[in-house]
């Protein structure tokens, strides 16, 4: 189950970023390739003031993530960030959503493009990064520091943060996988941010909830992710001034 979760974060077929699931994508401790490309790609993410769509009158929520956030193999409106917005709208609590998911992204890539996203003045930042770090064997101290900087930089701008926990399979070594899993609760406690322990809970490894590749959630899987994330996000929205 954990291996399926991890490889699900690789790039989509039309992505310009390198294949995070490729065995030779990186060596342990190496910086992730393609971060410059992802930085450029970030500037193509549609923002509320760049679209012709009607702007919601609620808080702005930015989802910073990889292919799980982007909605690999699906239309963007089928990915969980858009479904979360639908759920809150139906409940009479509209929010504005920016899906800042880029396939193959890492904590380093997310940190690199964070300043540009913070200039949009979000109310809440949902951080869904780290699985590709684990897949590439990135040094855990580096991943932890990248996540810490993402969170603290957002907090310094008055942005609330919701952290999504990730897991990697034990075949990466029990010490590495256990220490990786411990990063998220450690940072959540240290920086006083809410944590969703495992984004793919109830979806990973279920063939009925994943695409034909067996590793990326399908539309039904994303609907479950949306329900999980909505529940975790609701307390933050209730604390956000309208």
Task: Please give the biggest Cα pair distance in the chain.
Answer: 49
The residue annotated as part of the active site, out of 123, 177, 216, 222, is 216
User: 40 an active-site residue?
Assistant: no
The per-residue pLDDT for range 40-85, each reduced to its tens digit, is 455 556 555 544 344 447 999 999 999 999 999 999 999 999 999 9
Q: Of 209, 191, 189, which is closest to residue 200 (Cα–Cα)?
A: 209
Which has more confidence, 51 or 155? 155
Q: What is the pLDDT averaged over residues 128-138?
A: 93
pTM of the model: 0.81
The fold for domain 2-11+35-238 equals Rossmann fold (3.40.50)
The residue annotated as part of the active site, out of 36, 141, 175, 213, is 213
User: 216 an active-site residue?
Assistant: yes
Domain boundaries, the chain: 2-11+35-238
User: 75 an active-site residue?
Assistant: no
Which has more confidence, 120 or 5? 120
The residue annotated as part of the active site, out of 21, 67, 143, 177, is 67
Give the per-residue pLDDT at 215. 78
Q: Bridge-partner residues for 63, per DSSP?
A: 99, 126
Query: C-alpha angle 97/4/183, rounded to 5°?
Result: 65
Taking the C-alpha atoms of residue 161 and residue 75, their distance in angstroms, rounded to an integer, is 26
The per-residue pLDDT for range 89-112, each reduced to its tens digit, is 999 999 999 999 999 999 999 999
211 by Cβ neighbours in 10 Å (0-12 / 13-18 / 19+) ranks as middle
């Amino acid at each position: 189950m954990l291996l399926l979760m991890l490889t699900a974060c690789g790039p989509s077929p039309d992505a310009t970023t390198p294949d995070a699931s490729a065995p030779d994508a990186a060596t342990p401790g190496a910086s992730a390739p393609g971060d410059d490309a992802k930085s450029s790609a970030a500037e193509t993410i549609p923002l509320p003031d760049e679209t012709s769509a009607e702007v919601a009158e609620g808080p702005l929520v930015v989802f910073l993530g990889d292919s799980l956030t982007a909605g690999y193999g699906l239309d963007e409106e089928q990915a969980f960030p858009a479904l979360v917005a639908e759920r809150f709208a139906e409940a009479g609590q509209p929010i504005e959503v920016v899906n800042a998911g880029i396939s193959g992204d890492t904590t380093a890539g997310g940190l690199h493009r964070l300043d540009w996203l913070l200039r949009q003045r979000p109310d809440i930042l949902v951080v869904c990064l780290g699985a590709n770090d684990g897949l590439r064997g990135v040094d855990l101290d580096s991943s932890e520091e990248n996540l810490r900087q993402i969170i603290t930089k957002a907090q310094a701008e008055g942005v609330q943060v919701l952290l999504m926990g990730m897991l990697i399979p034990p075949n990466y070594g029990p010490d590495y996988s256990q220490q990786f899993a411990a990063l998220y609760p450690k940072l959540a406690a240290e920086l006083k941010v809410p944590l969703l322990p495992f984004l793919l809970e109830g979806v990973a490894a279920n063939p009925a909830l994943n695409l034909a590749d067996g590793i990326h959630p399908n539309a039904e899987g994303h609907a479950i992710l949306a329900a999980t994330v909505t529940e975790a996000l609701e307390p933050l929205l209730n604390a956000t001034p309208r």
